[in-house]
């Protein structure tokens, strides 16, 4: 809401600076977002008179002018290029040192400072300005010529009446009363402890012509139109409004149109009551019928747009057809034109939800609908109509027919609420007395009707405050008017113990582990396009009203958005892309791990890890290489043990999954928690990634909720013996199976088995590989003898050679 500071002061006497008023408004909850001084940047410019214009001796397009800066002063010589400059004009003069707000010759229009200059050999002591240069009009074709009555030497701002300032105030949806100057003045009057002054004009009516004789109003849908009033003003002359009206509207952010429309806008900004003026002669039967639209009815609003109506809209009609969408916008068929002579003035109260539904459905938002849907005062209807009629008579020379037609079958009464002073203090943590509470509430027009028991007030809530619905709303009014700053900042004395959140700690542990191991966290968007989403799943959740087709579907997999980041980084020459993200993935049906908080949508929190590009940064001590499956496998398996989950089990799949090849499933305590693999090339191609991307995904809920009670296991206090063994086996035999065989056959003496070499080559034979393990042997109760060690080793070797057809390779 844009407020004129000058206009505001018609209703409240403020002996305070604009800054103080702005701070007060903000403290009242009417946040001042900006203060705009009119004429800002025009301070140095004055009215001047052109005395004489001569040709420039050295340039055809330039003129040399003699300009009078002020009566009694020496004329100045000024070189001017404007085609329209002529002797006798009153013009705008800027002299050396003044900043011109807009440079017409600069592509960006940057401001510049005037200097005395010599232009083509002729001295120039200033500049005559165009409206565009000063930012007061769009016309840059020539200098701005002022009214002949302008007095040379006068400040331009003073001449133009630019001595007002505008306040931009953020009005929250609960305060429709403050969408007007009077509404804001009311709160200010309360805050400054001064009286609110309502406008006082005298409305002269033509007693010989009662309004009922010239028109009638019939309301067929009283539910959506609880009150409708009409007045008639005849013999109006449509023309430009006077300066004061134009300045007031401009300062409040509205463009003046003509005196009739301006009056309706002025009264709307004054009282908050939207009004509509019809050209009465264009109303069939010169009467009004308020009804619901017919389904399929087409209506053209005054902005020239045609709307097909659904049947629920409230229409203002004449005897034959619709002439306005109630509370939203008037029709082209009845709008005020320069030739209008008779006006029917509507002032009504429309049901907020009805106006809102209509405005939403038709996609129209006007100053009127904005106010109606928030709820105007149903009992202000006639005051606003009277005020507008009075101004119309004054500004248009028209005659006001006597009386008003007021269809208001069920008057809306002020709400009655009870407020308990002890409740006020209990909610706010204050110790306000009953007198203070009473004073604060009455200061904004709330009538306190009785005080049945001490400390309990019965309040009559004026109908301009539809937001005050219950006791708590009155408590808020007390808090607001008392001042939030005057309420203590209480630091709770009591100690509240909250047990540490183990799940939260585990997430932190996991993040730290990944970051310490060179993996960086990313945060990606959760909406993607449908085609990309289809690569990952058919079980999708999509948004009905997306911003764009690129952001239509909720990600079914973390990989879907992580790959966007991988691609971005490779496109920007990254070499090592090691990333993780913890976030939500979505599915309509959703399998294991998905939680259905609402029907039809499953959500799951997952950890995604992508490793791609170089395994490590370039160093002098390690050979450069690309990441491979063992990087991600090693990362994930050591991550799991690193955060205390040492009971994971890996499952090796032969076939590719929908996302990855070389897929390894991960189980913890027998339940599936995630997988590791290399992204499928068809998916990578879609993201235009031409490097391998290794991906792991873990279900966060499983990872952080699995128990990990640490228990001590006895370790041997006797010397350990380390022995290396190597086998030659067929290439198809897996290392994991041999390792498992060694563990089983060597138990319990073999306490650890570590693969340390794998070798394929001619020396071991075609289709064969050599696999070398380092075995640690010891016992908890004694030192193993050489004979015992040899016995264990020989049983391990026999077991492996028998099971896998392996041969022992001498080391």
Judged by CB under 8 A, the chain residues 620 through 659 that form the site for other proteins are 620-621
Residue 712 in contact with other proteins, rule: CB under 8 A: no
CA–CA separation, 63 and 55 (whole Å)? 5
Q: Which two tokens stand for residue 276?
A: 């509509």
Q: By CB under 8 A, is residue 31 in contact with other proteins? A: yes
Tell me how far, at minimum, the Cβ of 13 lies from other proteins, in Å: 24
Residue 629 CB, nearest approach to other proteins (Å): 19
Residue 528 interacting with other proteins (CB under 8 A)? no
Residues 542, 731, 740, 794: which binds other proteins (CB under 8 A)?
542
| Selected binder of other proteins within 195, 223, 487, 755 (CB under 8 A) | 487
Which tokens is 347 given? 């002032």
Residues 167-226 that bind other proteins (CB under 8 A): 172-175
Residue 170 or 748 having the CB closest to other proteins: 170
Q: How far apart are the first and last CA of the chain?
A: 88
454 lies in the binding site for other proteins (CB under 8 A) = no
- Residues 710, 739 contacting (CB under 8 angstroms): no
Rule CB under 8 A: is residue 154 a binding residue for other proteins?
Answer: no
The residues, any chain, with a CB within 8 Å of residue 138's CB and separated by 6 or more, are: 131, 132
- As beta bridge partners, residue 577 has 612
| C-beta of 523 vs 758, nearer to other proteins | 523
Which member of 429, 634, 748, 805 binds other proteins (CB under 8 A)?
429
Which of 194, 214, 551, 721 touches other proteins by CB under 8 A?
551
Nearer to other proteins, 365 or 458 (CB): 365
CB 723 within 8 A of CB 789: yes
Distance (Å, rounded) from C-alpha 14 to C-alpha 497?
51
SS3 label, residue 549: helix
Beta strands 721-730 and 750-759, pairing class: unpaired
Q: Which of 543, 549, 589, 747 is close enough to bind other proteins by CB under 8 A? A: 543
Q: State how far the Cα of 513 lies from the Cα of 507, in Å rounded to an integer.
A: 10
Burial letters for 175-205: b for 16+ Cβ neighbours within 10 Å, e otherwise? bbbbbbbbbbbbbbbbbbeeebeebeeebeb
To other proteins, the closest distance from the beta carbon of 136 in angstroms equals 22
For the bound state, the minimum distance from the C-beta of residue 396 to other proteins, rounded and expressed in Å, comes to 34
Q: Where are the beta strands (DSSP E) in 576-647?
A: 576-587, 595-598, 601-613
Beta-bridge partners for 777:
721, 750
Least distance CB 494 / other proteins (angstroms)? 9
Buried b (16+ CB within 10 A) or exposed e, 304-316: eeebebbeebbbb
Which of residues 603, 631, 661, 788 is near other proteins by CB under 8 A? 603
Q: Is the dihedral of CA 335, 338, 343, 346 positive or negative?
A: positive
Among 200, 202, 454, 545, binds other proteins (CB under 8 A): 545
3-state helix, strand, coil in the chain (%, to 5): 30, 30, 40
Interface pick for other proteins out of 288, 519, 729, 784 (rule CB under 8 A)? 519
Least Å distance, CB 80 to other proteins, is: 36
Q: Which of residues 347-406 bind other proteins (CB under 8 A)?
A: 352-353, 356-357, 373-374
497 makes contact with other proteins (CB under 8 A): yes
- Give me the sign of the Cα torsion angle 532, 536, 539, 541: negative
Q: 423 or 439: whose CB is closer to other proteins?
A: 423
Instruction: Please identify, among the stretches 266-274, 541-549, 669-677, 714-722, the one whose residues bind other proteins according to the rule CB under 8 A.
Output: 541-549
* Rounded CA separation 12/406 (Å): 30
Residue 496 binds to other proteins (criterion: CB under 8 A): yes
Q: Looking at residues 554 to 593 of the shown chain, list those that interact with other proteins (rule: CB under 8 A).
A: 554, 565, 568-569, 572, 574, 576-580, 583-584, 586
Cβ proximity to other proteins, 338 vs 599, nearer residue: 599
Interacting residue with other proteins among 84, 422, 433, 525 (CB under 8 A): 525
Distance CA 772, CA 808 (A): 10
Please count the residues of this chain forming the interface with other proteins, following the rule CB under 8 A.
Answer: 95
Whole-angstrom distance, CA of residue 248 vs CA of residue 243: 8
Closest CA to 690 of 703, 699, 698, 681: 681
Query: Residue 407 Cβ, how far from other proteins at the closest point, in Å?
Result: 24
Q: Is 609 in the site for other proteins (CB under 8 A)?
A: no
User: Which C-beta is closer to other proteins: that of 33 or that of 451?
Assistant: 33
Distance, in Å, from the CA atom of 288 to the CA atom of 346, rounded to the nearest integer, reads 10
| Binding segment (CB under 8 A) for other proteins, from list 241-249, 380-388, 601-609, 737-745 | 601-609
Q: Which of 492, 709, 785, 810 binds other proteins (CB under 8 A)?
A: 492
CA distance 481 to 801: 91
Cα–Cα dist 603/593, whole Å: 8
Question: Which of residues 408 and 570 has its CB atom nearest to other proteins in the complex?
Answer: 570
């Amino acid at each position: 809401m844009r407020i004129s500071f000058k206009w505001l002061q018609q209703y409240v006497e403020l002996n305070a600076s604009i800054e103080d008023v702005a701070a007060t408004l903000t403290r009242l909850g009417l946040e001042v977002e900006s203060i705009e001084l009119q004429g800002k940047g025009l301070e140095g410019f004055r009215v001047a008179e052109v005395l004489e214009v001569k040709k420039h001796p050295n340039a055809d397009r330039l003129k040399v002018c003699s300009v009078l800066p002020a009566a009694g002063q020496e004329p100045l010589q000024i070189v001017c290029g404007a085609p329209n400059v002529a002797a006798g004009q009153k013009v705008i003069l800027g002299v050396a040192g003044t900043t011109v707000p807009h440079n017409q010759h600069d592509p960006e229009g940057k401001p510049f400072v005037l200097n005395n200059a010599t232009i083509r050999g002729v001295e120039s002591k200033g500049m005559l300005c165009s409206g565009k240069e000063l930012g007061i009009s769009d016309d840059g074709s020539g200098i701005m010529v002022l009214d002949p009555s302008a007095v040379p030497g006068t400040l331009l701002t003073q001449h133009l009446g630019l001595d007002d300032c505008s306040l931009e105030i953020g009005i929250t949806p609960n305060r429709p009363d403050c969408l007007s100057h009077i509404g804001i003045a009311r709160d200010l009057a309360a805050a400054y402890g001064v009286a609110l002054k309502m406008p006082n004009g005298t409305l002269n009516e033509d007693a010989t012509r009662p309004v009922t004789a010239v028109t009638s109003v019939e309301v067929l849908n009283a539910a959506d139109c609880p009150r409708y009033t009409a007045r008639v003003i005849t013999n109006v002359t449509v023309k430009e409004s006077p300066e004061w009206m134009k300045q007031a509207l401009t300062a409040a952010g509205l463009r003046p149109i003509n005196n009739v429309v301006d009056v309706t806008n002025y009264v709307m900004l004054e009282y908050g009551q939207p009004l509509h003026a019809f050209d009465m002669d264009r109303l069939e039967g010169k009467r009004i019928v308020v009804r619901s639209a017919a389904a399929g009815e087409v209506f053209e609003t005054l902005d020239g747009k045609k709307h097909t109506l659904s049947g629920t809209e409230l229409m203002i009609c004449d005897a034959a057809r619709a002439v306005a969408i109630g509370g939203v916008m008037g029709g082209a068929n009845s709008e005020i034109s320069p030739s209008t002579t008779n006006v029917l003035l509507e002032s009504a109260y429309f049901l907020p939800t009805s106006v809102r539904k209509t405005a939403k459905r038709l996609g129209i938002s006007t100053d009127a609908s904005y106010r109606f849907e928030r709820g105007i005062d149903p009992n202000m209807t006639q005051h606003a109509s009277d005020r507008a009629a009075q101004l119309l008579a004054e500004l248009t020379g028209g005659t006001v027919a006597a009386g008003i037609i007021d269809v208001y079958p069920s008057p809306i009464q002020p709400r009655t609420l009870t407020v308990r002073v002890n409740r006020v203090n209990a909610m706010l943590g204050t110790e306000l007395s009953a007198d203070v509470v009473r004073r604060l509430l009455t200061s904004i027009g709330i009538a306190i009707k009785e005080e049945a028991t001490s400390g309990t007030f019965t309040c009559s809530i004026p109908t301009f405050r539809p937001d005050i619905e219950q006791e708590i709303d009155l408590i808020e009014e007390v808090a607001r008017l008392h001042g939030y700053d005057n309420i203590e900042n209480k630091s709770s004395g009591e100690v509240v113990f909250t047990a540490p959140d183990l799940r939260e700690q585990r997430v932190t542990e996991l993040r730290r582990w990944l970051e310490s191991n060179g993996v960086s966290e990313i945060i990606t968007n959760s909406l993607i396009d449908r085609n990309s989403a289809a690569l990952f799943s058919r079980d999708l959740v999509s948004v009905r009203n997306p911003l764009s087709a690129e952001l239509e579907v909720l990600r079914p997999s973390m990989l879907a958005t992580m790959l966007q980041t991988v691609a971005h980084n490779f496109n920007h020459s990254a070499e090592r892309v090691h990333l993780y993200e913890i976030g939500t993935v979505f599915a309509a049906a959703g399998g294991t791990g998905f939680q259905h908080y609402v029907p039809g949508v499953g959500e799951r929190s997952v950890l995604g890890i992508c490793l791609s590009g170089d395994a490590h940064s370039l160093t002098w001590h390690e050979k450069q290489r690309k990441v491979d499956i063992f990087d991600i496998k090693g990362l994930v398996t050591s991550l799991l043990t690193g955060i205390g989950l040492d009971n994971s089990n890996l499952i090796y799949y032969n076939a590719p999954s929908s996302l990855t090849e070389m897929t390894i499933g991960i189980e913890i305590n027998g339940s599936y928690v995630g997988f590791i693999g290399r992204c499928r090339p068809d998916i990578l191609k879609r993201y235009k990634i031409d490097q391998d991307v290794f991906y792991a995904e873990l279900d966060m809920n499983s990872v952080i909720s699995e128990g990990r009670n640490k228990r001590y296991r006895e370790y041997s206090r006797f010397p350990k013996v380390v022995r290396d063994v190597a086998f030659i086996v067929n290439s198809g035999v897996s290392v994991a199976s041999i390792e498992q065989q060694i563990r089983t056959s060597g138990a319990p003496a073999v306490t650890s088995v570590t693969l340390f070499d794998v070798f394929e080559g001619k020396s071991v034979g075609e289709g064969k590989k050599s696999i070398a393990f380092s075995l640690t042997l010891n016992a908890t109760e004694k030192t193993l003898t050489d004979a015992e060690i040899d016995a264990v080793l020989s049983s391990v070797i026999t077991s492996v050679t028998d099971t896998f057809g392996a041969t022992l390779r001498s080391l």
